[in-house]
Chain A
Amino acid sequence: AQSVSQHNHHVILSEAASLELGCNYSYGGTVNLFWYVQYPGQHLQLLLKYFSGDPLVKGIKGFEAEFIKSKFSFNLRKPSVQWSDTAEYFCAVFSSGSARQLTFGSGTQLTVLP
């Protein structure tokens, strides 16, 4: 069964600091990769996605992620965080094999201090 690991449960940063959230998955076949964000009191929103092609993908609000196939990783980055980035971030993997389900990591709570 596929699984997704997010290494950091809670990250606290000051505004303007750089962000990198780790995500590793276990599945050897073709995958679609996602980062979702859940702002306080709001529903899950898609931040960015990787289907194929350029492994460096850009999403909304200045976020980007890099797919490294050899490391089964899809880390999320942002050069300079803002207070409004405070939220929970979820990495998710969809495999086109028999599972065909979206598997989420346990999430990383990001707190940005003003």
Chain B
Amino acid sequence: DAGVTQSPTHLIKTRGQQVTLRCSPKSGHDTVSWYQQALGQGPQFIFQYYEEEERQRGNFPDRFSGHQFPNYSSELNVNALLLGDSALYLCASSLEVLTGGPHEQYFGPGTRLTVT
């Protein structure tokens, strides 16, 4: 049973560029959430995708966008990169059986983004 996978593992970009990160959820999961983890901090919620739509969004600018595909995999896009976007980007998947029900997320290894 494959867990959550993310690609690439590491990425170096220049300020102003755009980046796309990818995530495949754990088998059987239908919901994908993205988090940003800056060095020495806890993960911060960016947004969540369910049924190919953004369902919840954290306090991140519109430069951060995403997409979910019919096979439940997801992409995170960041435009106009800033130095402050350097962080570990985590993808987590879950199964949304019941709204308001128990919610357990499984995390991938992350993509380390460095903006120079």
Contact = CB atoms under 8 A, between A and B. Distances in A.
B24 interface: no
Interface stretch (B67-75, B78-86, B97-105): B97-105
Interface in A93-114: 94, 96, 99-107
A43 B109 contact: yes
Interface string A9-45: 0000000000000000000001010101000001111
B45 A102 contact: yes
Contacts of B109: 42-43
**Interface footprint category on A:** 20 to 34
Given A44-B43, A96-B101, A106-B41, A101 B106 contact: no
Nearest to B59: A1
A56 interface: no
B10 to A, nearest CB: 13
A101 B58 contact: yes
User: Which one of A30, A104, A105 has the highest number of Cβ atoms from chain B below 10 Å of its Cβ?
Assistant: A104
Interface of B: 33, 35, 40-45, 48, 55-56, 58, 90, 92, 99-110
